[in-house]
Structure formats: C-alpha cells, structure tokens
Structure 1
Amino acid sequence: MSGLIDKAKNFVAEKIAEMPKPEASIQDVDFKKLSRAGVMYQAKVGVMNPYSHSIPICEISYSLKSDSREIASGKIPDPGSIKGKETTVLEVPMLVPHDILMSLAKDIWRDWDIDYELAIGLIIDLPVVGNLTFPLTTKGEMKLPTLGELFGRGGAAADDDKKE
C-alpha cells in the first residue's frame, strides 16, 4: 500500500513540475517624486501569467540597499491580481527619507546618482500548488532629479505632474 502512495506522490510532483509557471522580472527603477517625507522611487515589475484566468498576488515585499545599507523596505499586502494570458506591470513605490539620502552624500555628490541593489519578493497564490514566491533582484544606478525637474521645468517630475 505504501508503494502505491509513493507512486501517487511522485506522479503529482512530476505533473506540478511540468506545469507552466508565471515569469517575473524587474523592468525599471526610477525617480517618481519628491515630498516632505523623502524621495519616492518606483520599481516596475512585469509578471507574465501563462494561464487563462487571473492569479491573485498575496504580497510584494521589497528591500532597497545602497552602500550595503538598507535605505528603504516594506510590504504591499494584497496588491491585486495578474491578468490571464498577459503581462501585468506592478508598481512598487519605495520612499527613501531625506536623512538617509544625506548619509549617502559621498556617493551622491560624486556622480549625482545612487548605486543600489533592489530585492523584491513577489508571492502569488497558484491553484493546487499554493503560495509561490518569486525572488527578484537587480543592481543599478538611480539618477537623482535635477533642480529643473524638482521645480517643474522638464524631466520626470514635470512629466509626472502633467499626468496627475
């Protein structure tokens, strides 16, 4: 009898392993806006759903590091779902307080950007399989806004103001 149970377990495990799974990648990390609380950055995560039905997202967690120090982290509970047979772009806002930016002054003044490492954990709920976590990481440079961008004279900040 235990041999039959083992065969059934192996069969189910093989079928689950062969099942197509969603694919995710970090597409972009960029300056979003300046506020009294700090500088808002935004990561865009593209998730391809191979199924014909939508898949719920349980949680998105993130950790933004610069100079080996965490400068922003958080969780976004229940951010929605991934549409069926499409690539859904999820926006992950990250607030970096002004005092932390000041502690990165040496890197900022050298080339007017922040060298970063971003880790995102995307937890989705797949039928039959259960919760599946996609660990995503990327490294790069985030350019800081120029004074003209901050005060609405062109660039990303001015474009965002026009959209809102």
Structure 2
Amino acid sequence: MSSSDKPEVVERDVKDEEKKDKDKEEGKGGFIEKVKDFIHDIGEKIEEAIGFGKPTADVTGIHIPSINLEKAELVVDVLIKNPNPVPIPLVDINYLIESDGRKLVSGLIPDAGTIHAHGQETVKIPVVLIYEDIKNTYHDIKPGSIVPYRVKVDLLVDVPVIGRITIPLEKTGEIPIPYKPDVDLEKIHFERFSFEETVAVLHLKLENKNDFDLGLTALDYEIWLAGVSIGGAELTKSAKIEKSGITYIDIPFTFRPKDFGSALWDMIRGKGTGYSIKGNIDAETPFGAMKLPISKEGGTTRLKKDGDDDDDEVC
C-alpha cells in the first residue's frame, strides 16, 4: 500500500474539510450576530431619535365630593405621562374597588380620551358606592363603620411602534358607612309663658353612632307638639361630637300655645303630649362634609305641676 493510501492522509483531508465548514459556520454566525447588533443599534437610534417609549401613570388622589346615608361618590385621579412625540389614545380603563378581597364595585370606561404628545393629563374616574347594595351583599359591614378599600385600575393604551400595553395601578384608603345621629329632646325650659306667645329653650341631645368624629357646623330643624308645628329654623352651631359620643345643644324658639287647642290643656293637666323633631345636621368629618338627617317621633312631654321646676319633662 502506498503512502497515499494510508488512513492518516484521509483523516487529514476530513479534518481540513471540518475546519473549513467550521470556519464557514463561524463566519456565518458572526455575520448573523453582527446583523442583530446592527439592527439593535439602529432600533435604539431610531427610538432615541423619535423618542418613543412607554407612558407612565400614578394614582395621585382619591376624593369624596359627596357622601350621605345612601351613597358615596368617589373620584379617582390618575396622572398619565406621555413621553412620545405623538398623541396616544387611552383605549380603555378598567377599575375595581374591593374591601378585604371582596368586590364593592367595578366598571369599564371605553375610549377614555387621548394623552397629548410629550404631555401629561389627569384622568378622573368617577365611582359611586351604593351602601344598600354593599350591606345586602356583605352583612358584616355595619352602618357607622369605617371600611378599608383597595382601588385597582388597569389602563390600556395604544403606543405607536410599541403597540398596546396595560398599565396596572393600585391605591388603598378608607371609606365610611355613615349612620344618622340619634336625637332626643331632653327637656324644655320655659323662659316666658303666655297664651299669646311662649319663649322657651329646647335642650337637645345628639348621639354620634359613627366610628369617626362629627364636627357640627349647622343644624336645621322643625318641631311638632301635639301634631302642631311650633316652628323651625336654621342654627349655626359649632360643636364636636366625638365618635360614639354625645353632645347637647340648646335651641331657642317661640310659639303660640293657644294654637294647640285641647292639647294645651292636656299638657297643663299633666297629661303627656306627643312631640316630633325632624331636620338635618351639617358636619365636617375626616372624609369630607356630610349632611345627615335627624329625627325623633313618638316622644311625649308635659308641663310640670305647681311647685316643680319650670322645666318640661320629656319621656
């Protein structure tokens, strides 16, 4: 066998071919990597040149413009910043308010507007919480309590080059479930009594059954004795009723006893006469201003007999 037929010669040829193939693959791989790097660099340069990027958003505040015994109106402020040189449409806004993992209210706002190029805008999301629905669904949520909540907002925006993206947001807070104060007529102090005109002072007791303070700023009321209105008025009165606390208010008023007919004689003879009170209080709270109703029906009152003090007894 000649030297040219030796296996090592063939092996050397194979090795040469493998080396050539490897060089080709490395060259090919190097070329692909170079192309990828080039495209990436070009992409970054284009992005830098035209300034496309993802918008940012934040829940900047939650306001309670209106609250009463039936519902609370909330407004969620969401600040959105657009870093792009073109306006971007805000496709949808999904929102959810929950308490301890339980849904209180949810909704969708479609076609929520457009964020200007290189601009920022505050989008306001109005939400209404109906207390009756909440209490019917969650029986452990009691009137007068303060409920923790979590607001979840998903913003769906359409960004050129990047495409549609979702921006999730969250914020926590507390919302009250208001309860109307209890009112009682503790006593009536008569300063001057005559059939034509009687001047007296009502001593009202107001009990706050809420888990938050009430800063009383005004009171409007109307009072009935024996089914006859003895008048009403608006009274500006500043007082603080602490949570689960009691305060007393003196209200002056005048009336004409002769308008009561036989009911007046029942009072003079010591018989009980029915009274009712209806009205509203205006109060400042940690959650904003509230107007809460007050009412008392079915109470009885009578004039003291001779020898007693001149205060009316109230039952």
> Does 2:88 align with 1:52?
no
Identity %: 24
Partner of 2:76: 43
The residue type equivalent to 2:174 in the other structure is: E
From 172, 175, 178, give the equivalent of 1:139. 172
Q: Between Structure 1 and Structure 2, whose CA radius of gyration is higher?
A: 2
49-58 vs 122-131, which moves further: 49-58
What are the equivalent positions in structure 2 for 1:23-102 lying under 5 Å apart?
23-34=56-67, 38-102=71-135
- Paired residue total: 153
**Secondary structure class of the residue paired with 2:123:** strand
1:135-157, CA deviations, whole angstroms, 9 ceiling, x for partnerless residues?
111122235679779x7957656
Bigger helix share: 1
Cα distance change on mapping 1:125 and 1:157 into 2, 3 Å: farther
Pick aligned residue for 1:105 from 119, 136, 141: 141
Deviations 1:72-127 (A, max 9, x none): 10100001011222220001111222223433634x634xx331111100011100
Stretches of structure 2 that go unaligned for 5 or more consecutive residues are 1-27, 181-215, 218-279, 291-315
Larger RCO, structure (CA 8 Å, separation 6 or more): 1
Contact 1:30 1:142 in 2 (8 A): no
Structure 1 residues 144 and 99: CA distance shift in structure 2, 3 A: closer
Q: Is the 8 A contact 1:26 1:45 kept in 2?
A: yes
1:7 aligns with 2:36: yes
RMSD: 3.8
Deviation sequence 1:43-97 (CA, Å, 0-9, x none): 1000111123321100000010012210010100001011222220001111222
Worse-matched range after superposition: 120-129 or 27-36: 27-36
Aligned to 2:301: none
AA partner of residue 165 (structure 2):
L
- State whether residues 29 and 142 of structure 1, in contact with CA within 8 Å, keep that contact through their aligned partners in structure 2: no
Contact 1:59 1:77 in 2 (8 A): yes
Residue of structure 2 in register with 1:161 after alignment: none
Q: Which amino acid aligns with 2:98?
A: K
Determine if contact 1:31/1:143 at 8 Å carries over to the other structure: no
Distance of 1:46 and 1:74 partners within structure 2: 19
